[in-house]
Amino acid sequence: MSVHPMISMLAPELVLIVAASLLLIVGHSRRAFVLDSLPALTLIALGVALWLAIGRPGGGIRSTHSLQIDALVYYARWITLCVGVLIVLVNRHVPAARERGEYFALMLFSLAGISLVAVADDMILLFLALELVSVPTYVLIGLSRTDVRAQEATGKYFFLGAFAAAFMLYGFSFLYGIGGTTTLFGSSAAERSLAQLLVDQPALRSDPLTMVGLMLVLAGIAFKLAAVPLHYYVADVYHGAASPVAGMLGFVPKFAGILALVRVASVIDWQWTPATFWLLWAMAVATMFVGNTLALMQTNAKRMLAYSSVAHSGYMLVALLAGPGLASTAIDAPTRNGVTAALFYMAIYGLMNLGAFAALAYIRSPESDEPVDDLEDLAGASQRHPAACLALAVCVLSLMGIPPMAGFLGKLYVFSAAIAAADSTPHPAAMIWLVVIGVGNSAIAAAYYLRIIATCYLRPALGPGVATRCDALRAGLAICAIGVVGFFAFPNVLSREAGRAGQVCAAARSERTIGQTAARRTTARESPAASALPRE
């Protein structure tokens, strides 16, 4: 049976979208058993998508019809779908029966958006995919709670999201403008594409239009990442959303943002001009600092985790600033390859962040019978909910970066990539300082993460334990916690795939830079690609 190559290439995403549409329809049923089976249906859809996503990137196809299917896409799919399963589990109890269909449909749309971001080889598709990720989340927040805060969060998120999207779009319009093509990479050197253009005409790299476009796009991505200076919304939105949705928000837009950033940076071959380098550097530093210092001031558990999510974006920016290295010098290890490190970190972050929010959703305040909101609600929780608190502690320690949790390995990869990159960037000392600031920040972060653990474990219990009764939530929480420990012990499963994905960038980079340099010796002399290499 032959299918159109596009269908086979996009099979997992298509499954998700079809399933989502189905859910929207079936969700209107009045029969209870149908409504009860919706989450299972969602899981089945994810499972099928995962089954379709299994495999290796084929040798021939890299990019056709504005799509590129490479190891990064596979990684994006696997991680999205796996974490997606957990997100569904954790969110199982959140929507009312009537809204269940829409709720999970939106979720599937959002997840499909993530892999589409990775797939996109075209600005238009990239932009649409990013919107596909974001738009459903606006609604999800509103659906997750009837609380006035949820509405406020929806409003803020939507307005600011639209505002940021306008910036990004504006940036894309400039990027289109410099080359007159919306294709990012193209399937061959012959095809007109932005990446090729930048290689062919290195002068364009420092063209103001390129610069402005690039920075505006980065700004739009920074909004998804919740990076400074577009982080303002984070705490309010997480605070307003129900914890399971907040857990999802920590993963979905952020992962999409990372993928988009990787693609965009690949377009310019990770060749930062001094100005952009220092801007990203400052952004990374500011993101870590602002996130951590603000989190330090919080008394609300969700806001604290929200700001911590800002800080984690900062760590990932460190890795991305380190870049993939050159294929020939980089071993494909996460410790050498910043992209790999960021991808690995992101997966782990998705797990640990979701786990922490799941625990907050599971444990309920003995006073209000609401899921944990204020840190005080956790007081003495370890005696009421020993297992849930253990899972929470595991996730929080992982966020803190303490071994033996996978978060430690994430930090290891990120900072090690930064150190390794020190020699290949024009500013070795800057990278080393970035590492020092980064580890210093993890010490600051420890102070507030520790407060969560301290509140759970060191305080006397306030009252009888009440918990959200939902087996799926419990299972999701357990899987997150076990995963966080498991990936510490056996990181290779994940880091190998992240390595393949990161390798794509490194390989593509060397192919273009070095290949073209060899082909056109004349231009190579002035090529910023060559001059960006440190002086020998």
Partner 1 sequence: MTGDVTQLAVWILLAPLMGSILIGMIGLRGLRDRAHWLAILGVAAALVAAVMLFNDLRAIPNAERAAAFEKSHVVYDWFRADAPTGGRGWFPVEFRIDSLTSVMLLTVLSVSLLVIVYSVGYMRDHHGQGERGYERFFAFLALFVFSMCALVLAGNFLLLYLGWELVGLCSYLLIGFYYQKPSAAAAAKKAFLVNRVGDFGFGLGILLIYWRCGDLSYTYVFSDAGRAALDGYETIVALLLFCGAVGKSAQLPLHVWLPDAMEGPTPVSALIHAATMVTAGVYMVARCGAIFTASPTAMAVVAIIGGATALFAATIALTQFDMKRILAYSTISQLGYMFLGLGVHAPASAIFHLFTHAYFKALLFLGAGSVMHAMAGEIDIRRFGGLARGLKITAATFWIGGLALAGFPLFSGFWSKDEIIHAALNHAPILGGLALLTALLTAFYTFRMIFLAFHGPQRLPPGVEHAHESVAWMTVPLLLLSIGAIGAGGVAMASGDFNIHAWLGPVVAPHGEWSGAESHAGGEDLTLMIVSGALSIVGTIAAWYVYRRRPAIATVVPILLPGPHQLLYQKYYVDELYDALIVSPLRRLGRFCFGMDRYVINTLLWLITAVPRSIGFMLKETMQVGAIQGYAMGMAVGVLLIVWVVLAGS
Partner 2 sequence: MPYAVPFMMLGAVLFGIGLVGFLTRRNLIIMFLCTEVMFQGVLLNLIAMGLRHGNLQGQGFGLFVLVVAAVEAGLGLAIVVLLYRRRGTLDAESWRTMRG
Partner 3 sequence: MGFLAQHILSVIIFFPIAAAIGLLLMPASDPRAIRRNAFLASLATLVFAIVATVYYVDQQRGPQGFHGLALAERCQWISDPLPYNLGGDRPAKLQVQYYVALDGISLPLLLLTALLTPLAIWSSFESIRERVREYYALLLLLHGAMLGVFCARDLLLFYVFFEFTLIPLYLIIGIWGGSQRRRAADMFFLYTLAGSVLTFAAVLYLGWQAFANVRDPADGARVLTFELERLYQLAAEGHLTPSVQSILFLALFAGFAIKVPLFPFHTWLPLAHTEAPTAGSAILAGVLLKLGTYGFLRLSLPMLPVASVTFAPWIAVLAIIGILYGALAAWVQTDIKKLVAYSSVSHLGFCLLGMFSLKMSGLTGSLLYMVNHGLSTGALFLLVGMIYDRYHTREMAELGGLARRMPVFAFFLIFFTLSSIGLPGLNGFIGEFLVLLGAFTSHSTAGGTPPGPLGVWYAVPAALGIVLGAIYMLHLCRAVLFGPLREPRGSQGHAADAHGTTLPADLTLRETALLAPLAACCLWLGVAPKPLFNVMQPPVQSQVLARMRPAMTATLAGNRPASPRVTDADPKSIRTRAVQANPSARTEGR
Q: Does 459 bind partner 2 (CB under 8 A)?
A: no
Q: Within its chain, how far is the Cα of 71 from the centroid?
A: 17
Q: What does 289 interact with, of partner 3, partner 2, partner 1, none (CB < 5 to 8 A by kind)?
A: partner 1
Q: For partner 2, which stretch binds (CB under 8 A), given 25-33, 40-48, 161-169, 314-322? A: 161-169
CB of 174 to partner 1, least distance (A): 10
Helices then strands, counting H and E runs in the chain, come out as 23, 4
If one counts every other C-beta atom within 10 angstroms of the C-beta of residue 180, the result is: 9
Q: Which is nearer to partner 1, 209 or 467 (CB)?
A: 209
Q: Does 8 bind partner 2 (CB under 8 A)?
A: no
Rounded Cα distance between 178 and 200, Å, is 13
Q: What does 442 interact with, of partner 1, partner 3, partner 2, none (CB < 5 to 8 A by kind)?
A: partner 3
Q: Which is nearer to partner 3, 371 or 491 (CB)?
A: 491
CB of 242 to partner 3, least distance (A): 30
Q: Which of 5, 47, 229, 404 binds partner 3 (CB under 8 A)?
A: 404
Q: Does 506 bind partner 3 (CB under 8 A)?
A: yes
Strand partners, 122: 183
Q: Does 190 bind partner 2 (CB under 8 A)?
A: no
Q: Does 123 bind partner 2 (CB under 8 A)?
A: yes
Residues in the chain: 536
Q: Does 64 bind partner 3 (CB under 8 A)?
A: no
Span 215-254, contacts to partner 2 by CB under 8 A:
235-236, 239-240
Q: For partner 3, which stretch binds (CB under 8 A), given 39-47, 106-114, 224-232, 420-428? A: 420-428
Site residues for partner 1 per CB under 8 A: 155-156, 159-160, 163-164, 167, 206, 208, 211-212, 214-216, 218-219, 223, 228-230, 232-233, 235-236, 273-276, 278-279, 289-290, 292-297, 444, 447
SS3 state at 398: helix
Q: Does 447 bind partner 3 (CB under 8 A)?
A: yes
Q: Which of 170, 277, 433, 457 binds partner 2 (CB under 8 A)?
A: 170
Q: For partner 3, which stretch binds (CB under 8 A), given 237-245, 314-322, 365-373, 430-438? A: 430-438
SS3 state at 122: strand
Rounded Cα distance between 19 and 382, Å, is 39
What tokens appear for 344 in the block?
């690995």
SS3 state at 405: coil
Rounded Cα distance between 263 and 185, Å, is 9
Rounded Cα distance between 279 and 212, Å, is 13
Rounded Cα distance between 380 and 502, Å, is 43
Q: Which is nearer to partner 3, 210 or 398 (CB)?
A: 398
CB of 106 to partner 3, least distance (A): 34
CB of 126 to partner 3, least distance (A): 23
Rounded Cα distance between 503 and 325, Å, is 9
CB neighbour list of residue 458: distance below 8 Å, 6 or more residues apart:
none
Q: Which is nearer to partner 1, 164 or 418 (CB)?
A: 164
CA distances from 536 to 124, 235, 424 (A): 41, 47, 11
Long-range contacts of 464-469 (CB under 8 A, 24+ apart): 464/366, 464/384, 465/363, 465/366, 465/381, 465/383, 465/384, 465/385, 466/364, 466/366, 466/369, 467/362, 467/363, 467/364, 467/385, 467/388, 468/93, 468/361, 468/362, 468/363, 468/364, 468/371, 469/93
Q: Does 227 bind partner 3 (CB under 8 A)?
A: no
Rounded Cα distance between 468 and 372, Å, is 10
Q: Does 54 bind partner 3 (CB under 8 A)?
A: no
CA distances from 298 to 275, 302, 320, 521 (A): 34, 9, 28, 57
Q: Does 58 bind partner 3 (CB under 8 A)?
A: no
Q: Which of 61, 160, 189, 402 binds partner 3 (CB under 8 A)?
A: 402
What is the per-residue binding string for partner 3 in 10-49, x denoting contact by CB under 8 A? Answer: ----------------------------------------
Rounded Cα distance between 228 and 217, Å, is 14
Binding positions for partner 3, rule: CB under 8 A: 59, 326-336, 340, 382-383, 386, 397, 402-404, 408-409, 411-412, 415-416, 419-420, 422-424, 432, 435-436, 439-440, 442-443, 446-447, 450, 453-454, 457-458, 491-492, 495-500, 503, 506-508, 510-511, 514-515, 517-518, 530, 533-534, 536
Interface residues toward partner 2, by CB under 8 A: 123-124, 127-128, 131, 135, 138-139, 142, 148-149, 151-156, 158-159, 162-163, 165-166, 169-170, 172-174, 176-177, 179-182, 235-236, 239-240, 297-298, 303
